[in-house]
Amino acid sequence: DERAAFIAGLPKAELHLHIEGSLEPELMFALAQRNAVAIPFASVEDVRAAYAFSNLQDFLDIYYQGMGVLIAEQDFYDLTAAYLARARADNVRHVEIFFDPQGHTARGVAFDTVIAGIARALDEARDRHGLTSRLILCFLRHLSEAEAEATLDAALPWLGRIAGVGLDSSEVGHPPSKFERVFARARDLGLKCVAHAGEEGPPAYVREALDLLRVDRIDHGNRSLEDAALVRRLTDAAMCLTVCPLSNVRLCVVDDIAAHPLRTMLDAGLCATVNSDDPAYFGGYVNANYQAVADALDLSRAELVALARNSFTGSFLDADGQARHL
Ligand code: HPA
Ligand code: ZN
């Protein structure tokens, strides 16, 4: 329809995308075979049927299991190239990609193998299609800060390829304060800082991300809306929130898409963006996320334009890089 065509035509940036969450069941099966890794599914349909989550942890259990098929550099290249093809098809011009090295090093896959495969696909997309990108290394917050420090050590030879660090995995019980020192070191190394906060965790975790981790963006941030003073602080700072509508529905962060707070965020003056999070698990890439939330909330063209614009102004592109896309 008309709205779909309008969304498809908008140049967009994606700022919240876990590359391991773009592993489609078809590729999961192909890699399981190629690497002789056993997976507990008989078919692609079987896999999709398992994607019924009642919270974040339900999803994470299956997400860490799924990434077990990723072993060789070529696997990480294939995964990333497949995502970039989907992004390009959605008229995404710039991507800031999360990766979870600890989900791989824990299985004996070297940090260098992971990042080399991802980086090769990113370079190719830039050279062939002008698609620009940044990489964000995420620490798994259910693990210790010492393990995060060791991961940052492994990243040191790759600092030229890494724009920032993030914080993901099980939120409740693992507040930002747990990672204050490793984020301080990352910042001293010149890295940007982001953190998942206020997805399942309380507004206090968003405040900690701001005060203790000194983040440049908040990933999700939904529960900030429970705290009016925090909302004012986020708007005053023009802090970007990377919102993920279909993820919020699938992980039961919102009751249903019609109850999504995206318009409330925009009306409050928050710099909200629309992103896919883990598109292979949550039922859609960027345009599907724009479409679902625009249909449910009857978003106007001006609102859709504002969201797409926010995706560039909230990105880690410099002013020239943003201007090239806007
Ligand atoms: N939240 C926390 N951790 C994650 C997510 C998420 O939405 N996706 C992948 N890891
Ligand atoms: Zn996420």
Q: In CATH, what number is assigned to the domain containing residue 242? A: 3.20.20.140
Domain that holds residue 223: 2-22+70-314
Within-domain flag for 57: no
Domain count of the chain? 1
Whether the Cβ atoms of residue 6 and residue 304 lie closer than 8 Å to each other: yes
Residue 325 in marked binding region: no
Nearest atom within ligand 1 for CA of residue 20: 9
Q: What is the pLDDT of residues 271-313, one digit of tens each?
A: 999 999 999 999 999 999 999 999 999 999 999 999 999 999 9
Picking from 141, 151, 136, the residue whose alpha carbon sits closest to that of residue 179 is: 141
Angle, helix 73-89 to helix 111-129, in steps of 10 degrees: 30
Q: How far is CA 6 from CA 82, 296, 318, in A?
A: 24, 16, 26
Tokens representing residue 188 in the block? 């001293």
In a domain, 131, yes or no: yes
Active site residue 26: no
Residue 212 near residue 187, CB atoms below 8 Å:
no
Distance 23 CA to ligand 2 centre (A): 14
φ and ψ at 109, to 5 degrees?
A: -90, 130
Full pLDDT tens readout for the chain, 326 residues: 999 999 999 999 999 999 999 999 999 999 999 999 999 999 999 999 999 999 999 999 999 999 999 999 999 999 999 999 999 999 999 999 999 999 999 999 999 999 999 999 999 999 999 999 999 999 999 999 999 999 999 999 999 999 999 999 999 999 999 999 999 999 999 999 999 999 999 999 999 999 999 999 999 999 999 999 999 999 999 999 999 999 999 999 999 999 999 999 999 999 999 999 999 999 999 999 999 999 999 999 999 999 999 999 999 999 999 988 88
Residue 35 lies in a domain: no
Catalytic residue among 199, 200, 208, 303: 199
State which of 23, 53, 56 you would mutate to test the pocket of ligand 1, scoring each by most atoms of that ligand within 8 A of its C-beta.
56
Q: Is 260 labeled as ligand-binding?
A: no
In this prediction, residue 325 carries a pLDDT of 87
Please tell me the distance between residue 278's alpha carbon and the centre of ligand 2 in angstroms.
Answer: 7
User: Residue 278: CB within 6 Å of ligand 1?
Assistant: yes
Is 37 part of any domain? no
Q: Is residue 324 part of a domain?
A: no
Residue with tokens 């928050």: 270
In a domain, 58, yes or no: no
| Ligand 2 centroid distance, CA of 115 (Å) | 19
3-state SS string for 69-87: HCCCHHHHHHHHHHHHHHH
Helix, strand or coil, per DSSP, at residue 148:
helix
Instruction: Give ipTM to 2 decimals.
Output: 0.96
Would residue 63 count as lying in a domain? Answer: no
**Predicted TM-score of the model (pTM):** 0.98
**42 lies in some domain:** no
Atom 7 of ligand 1 has which residue's CA nearest to it? 277
